[in-house]
Structure 1
Amino acid sequence: MNQTSREAAANPAQASAQGREQRHVIRNRVSFLEQKIPGYASIIGIVGILILWELVCRLEIVPPLFLPAPSLILAAGWDMLSSGELHENILASLYRIAIGYAIGAGCGIIFGLVLGFSRWVDAILSPVVYSIYPIPKIALLPLIILWLGIGETPKFTMIALGVFFPVVINTFSGVKNVDPIWIKAAVTFGSSHLNVIRKVILPGALPMIFAGLKLAAGTSLLLLVAAEMIAAQKGVGSMILHYGNLMITTKLMVGVLILSLLGLLFNRGLQWLERKLLPWK
C-alpha cells in the first residue's frame, strides 16, 4: 500500500473530498469534450478556401486555364443553369445514383444480416464476398456492357455493385459485434428468429450499417462519374468529360463542384437519418 492509500485509509473524510475533487475534474474534462460547436463553424473552412482560391487566381499565380477563379466558375454555372443544361445533367445523374444506391444498399443490408446470422451462409459465401470486394468495379464495366447492353441498366448495375460490398461487409461486422447476451436473453424469453433479427440484431448493427452506407455514398459517386464518362450522353460525368475535351475549365469545374456538393448532401442526409434511427448514439 502506497503513502496516499495509507493516508486515505487513515482519514476517510479526506479520501471522500479527494474523490469528489477527482470526479469534478473528470466532469469538467468531459464537458469540455462535449461542447457544442456553432453551426457556422463548418462554413468557415469552406469560405476560407474559396477566398484563398480567388486571391490566387486574381494574382495570376496559376493560369486561369488550369485553375479558374470561383467567381468565373459561378458565372459559368449560372449560364448553364439559365440554359437548362445544368438542370438536365444533374437530374440524369441523380436518377441513376438513386436507383443504383437503393438497390445496392437494400440488397447489401439483407445479405449482410443473413451472412452474420447464419454460420452456414457465412462459411460458404464469405470467401466469395471478400474475394470479389477488392476488384475495382470500374474494371467490370466493359463486361457489364457486353452482358446488359448500352443503356441505363449497366450504370445502375455498376453503382449497385459499388454500394453492395461496403454495406455487406459493414452489416456483417455489425451483426457479429452484437452482444451475445442480448440474443440469448431474447431467445430465453421465447422470441422467434425473425423478432431476434428485427428487435435485437438489426438495432445493434445499425451503427456499423450506417458507416457502410456513408462509405458507399462516396463510392457510388465515383462509379457514377466513371460510368457516365464511358457510356452516357447526359449526366454530370459526361458533362465534365465533354468540357474537358473542349478545355473549357470553368464549366468543367462547375461539374466538379456539383459532385462535391452532392457528396456533402448525401453525407448530411445519412447523418440526419442516423440521428433519427439511433437516438441513443
Structure 2
Amino acid sequence: MQKAEISETIPSSAIRNRSWKIPRNILYPFVTLLIVLTVWEVIGQLNLIDPFMFSWPSKIFVQAQIFFISGEVFKHLAVSGMEVGLGFAMALIGIPIGLAMGYWKKLELAFDPFVTALYTTPMIALTPLFVLWFGLETLSKVMMVFALSVFPILINTMSGVKMTESSLIKAARSYGANEAQMFKEVIFPSAIPFIITGIRLAIGRALIAVVVAEMLAGNIGIGYAIRHASELFQTAQYLAYVVVLMVISVLLTELLKVFEKKLAPWRNS
C-alpha cells in the first residue's frame, strides 16, 4: 500500500525524463548511415556494382579486418600520424599571428594580401616542389601539412579578434586594462570559437596534404597504402583505407567539439 502511494505521488513526466534516451546528434546520423549502408549493400549483393570499379560495405569490412588483424594499417597510421602531428603543431603558429593581425590594423594591411594569396593557392599542385626542396623523406610531408593547415587557423583567428564586441573592449579600457590583459581577458576568449573552427578546417586539409604527399612521394603511410591498393586494382582495400581516414577525421572533429565546450562553455548557452 505504501509503495502504491509513493508511485502515485511521482509525476509520470519525471519517470519519462529519467528514462535513458539516445542523443539526437548521435541517433540521427546513425540512422542515416544505417540506411545508406543497407541500400549500398543490397545494390552490391544484387551484382549491380562492378567490383573492379567499386565495392560495397561487406567487402570493405572484410578487407579492413585483414589489415587490422595483420597490423599493416597501424604501421601506416603511425607514420602518417607523426607527419600530421609535427606539421599541425607547427601550423598552430597561426594562432598568435592571427591574434596580432586581427588586433593591429597596420599588420593586417601589410600582410593580409599575401595571406589571402597563399591561402587560395592550390598547394597540392606544389607537392613536387616540396619534394624537390625537402626530399622524399618525412620533412616534405610535414611541410605540406604545415602549408595547408596554417592558413585556416590564421584567418579564422584573425576573424575572431575582429568580431570581438567593441563594448567589451571599451569596458576593459575603462577599467585600465593594459595590452596583455586585453588579450588575456577579452580578445582571446572571444576568439576561441573561431580558433577552434579554424583548427577543425585545418584537420581536413592536413589529412589531404599527408595523403597526397605520400601518394606522390612515399613508400609508407596511408597515402602510399591507398596508391598501392589502387595500382593493384584492389578496390575494396583501397576504399577500406579511405574509410579509416574518414573515421579518424570524424573522431578528431568530435574531440575538438568536446574541447571547445571546455574552453568556451558560454557559446553553448
TM-score tier, shorter chain, comes to 0.7 to 0.9
Residue 40 of structure 1: CA displacement?
2.5
Per-residue CA deviations over 1:151-197 (Å, capped at 9, x if unaligned) read: 11111111111111111111111101101221122122122211111
Q: Which gives a bigger RCO, structure 1 or 2 (Cα 8 Å, sep 6+)?
A: 2
Is the counterpart of residue 254 in structure 1 residue 250 in structure 2? no
> How do 1:1-281 and structure 2 match up within 5 A?
37=24, 39-104=26-91, 106-281=92-267
User: Retained in 2: the 8 A contact 1:57–1:67?
Assistant: no
Equivalent residue number for residue 9 of structure 1: none
- Output the CA distance in 2 between the equivalents of 1:150 and 1:124: 35
The runs of at least 4 consecutive aligned structure 1 residues that moved more than 6 Å come to: none
Using structure 1 for the length normalisation, give the TM-score. Answer: 0.84
- Output the CA distance in 2 between the equivalents of 1:276 and 1:130: 31
Residue 66 of structure 1: CA displacement?
1.8
- Output the CA distance in 2 between the equivalents of 1:169 and 1:185: 26
Secondary structure at the counterpart of residue 64 of structure 1: coil
- Output the CA distance in 2 between the equivalents of 1:76 and 1:146: 35
Residue 146 of structure 1: CA displacement?
2.0
Residue 69 of structure 1: CA displacement?
2.3
Per-residue CA deviations over 1:20-77 (Å, capped at 9, x if unaligned) read: xxxxxxxxxxxxxxxx626322211111111111101000111122222211111111
| Equivalent position amino acid for 1:98 in 2 | G
- Output the CA distance in 2 between the equivalents of 1:197 and 1:246: 54
Residue 244 of structure 1: CA displacement?
0.2
Q: Which runs of 5+ in 1 are unaligned?
A: 1-35
- Output the CA distance in 2 between the equivalents of 1:66 and 1:280: 49
- Output the CA distance in 2 between the equivalents of 1:232 and 1:150: 7
- Output the CA distance in 2 between the equivalents of 1:140 and 1:199: 40
Q: Which runs of 5+ in 2 are unaligned?
A: 1-22
| Equivalent position amino acid for 1:188 in 2 | S
Computing the radius of gyration from Cα coordinates, the structure with the larger value is: 1
